[in-house]
């Protein structure tokens, strides 16, 4: 009889010990929506630029997120030989993977991601200068008659690296950098795409681009999942 009681007590003790040797918390799953503040700031301080971007992500698993960005841009490119106004919109979609191991109820991210981007845009050639090798005898031909090039498109892929930190409950700030590669583009007649909305500067017709962002976002929790941490003795 005593042996049976000891067995029951031992079983209860082991069960209680197992529960006290772990911590159970709840991770938030939901939609995080924000904006790229760097584009808003640049719009105020740069007379040649206007832009706005809304971004968001949705948590699929503990590490994996669906992510997307949508925005508009207007950029004036002014060189020694031409002045072009580019206007258009873009959409980027892909996934982010959180590389950071959070402790307890933290929801911070150090992540890498992948996007496919698409843009529709137009150029207005405001003025241009035709370069002449014989500049001593022949004056350079210039024109300030505007010419529009509509219906242009571009598709690209990009790799993203960034961080997101929760500064207040459900409120996040973040930084990211993007490395881009053009897949396809349509070009206007007689000159090349110097700027593509969402892709940025094309660097002398090269197929690679670069971008960055500073984001503020808010998480709308939809549901929660339990996460258990083992406690070491």
Model confidence over 18-72: pLDDT tens digits?
444 566 677 889 999 999 999 999 999 999 999 999 999 999 998 999 999 999 9
Confidence band, pLDDT 50/70/90 cuts, at residue 202: confident
The mean pLDDT value for 99-106 works out to: 79
pLDDT at residue number 83: 87
Confirm if 53 and 39 have CB atoms less than 8 A apart: yes
- The proportion of the chain whose per-residue pLDDT surpasses 70, expressed as a percent, equals 76
Q: What is the pTM of this model?
A: 0.81
| pLDDT band of 134, cuts 50, 70, 90 | low
Q: Give CA–CA dist 137/85, Å, rounded.
A: 32
Partner residues linked to 149 by β-bridges: 123
Mean pLDDT of the chain: 84
Beta bridge partners, 120, equal: 89, 153
pLDDT in tens, 72-92: 999 999 877 788 999 999 999
Is it the case that residue 9 has pLDDT exceeding 80?
no
Instruction: Give the E-state strand segments of the chain in sequence order.
Output: 22-36, 49-59, 64-78, 82-98, 109-130, 141-143, 147-168, 171-185, 195-196, 200-201, 208-230
Q: How high is the pLDDT of residue 26?
A: 77
Lowest model confidence (mean pLDDT) among 51-60, 100-109, 181-190: 100-109
Query: Residue 23 has what pLDDT?
Result: 67
Q: Which residue has the higher pLDDT, 62 or 112?
A: 112
At 39, list the tokens: 């584009």
Mean pLDDT of 103-108: 77
Query: Would the pLDDT of 129 be above 80?
Result: no
- Token pair 């698993």 is found at 61
Contact 113, 167 (CB under 8 A): no
């Amino acid at each position: 009889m005593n042996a049976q009681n000891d067995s029951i007590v031992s079983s209860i003790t082991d069960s209680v010990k197992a529960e006290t040797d772990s911590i159970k918390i709840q991770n938030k799953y939901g939609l995080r929506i924000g904006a790229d503040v760097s584009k808003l700031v640049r719009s105020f301080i740069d007379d040649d630029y206007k832009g706005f971007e809304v971004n968001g992500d949705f948590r699929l698993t503990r590490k994996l997120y669906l992510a997307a960005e949508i925005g508009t841009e207007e950029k004036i490119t002014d060189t020694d030989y031409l002045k072009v106004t580019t206007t258009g919109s873009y959409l980027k979609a892909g996934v982010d993977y959180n590389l950071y191991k959070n402790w307890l109820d933290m929801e911070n991210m150090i992540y890498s991601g992948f996007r496919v981007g698409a843009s529709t845009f137009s150029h207005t050639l405001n003025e241009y200068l035709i370069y002449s090798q014989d500049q001593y005898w022949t004056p350079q031909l210039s024109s300030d008659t505007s010419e529009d090039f509509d219906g242009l498109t571009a598709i690209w892929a990009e790799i993203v690296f960034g961080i997101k930190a929760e500064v207040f409950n459900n409120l996040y700030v973040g930084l990211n950098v993007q490395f881009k590669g053009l897949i396809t583009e349509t070009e206007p007649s007689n000159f090349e795409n110097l700027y593509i909305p969402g892709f940025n500067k094309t660097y002398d017709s090269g197929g690679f681009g670069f971008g960055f962002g500073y984001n503020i976002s808010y998480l709308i929790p939809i549901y929660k999942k339990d996460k258990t941490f083992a406690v070491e003795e």
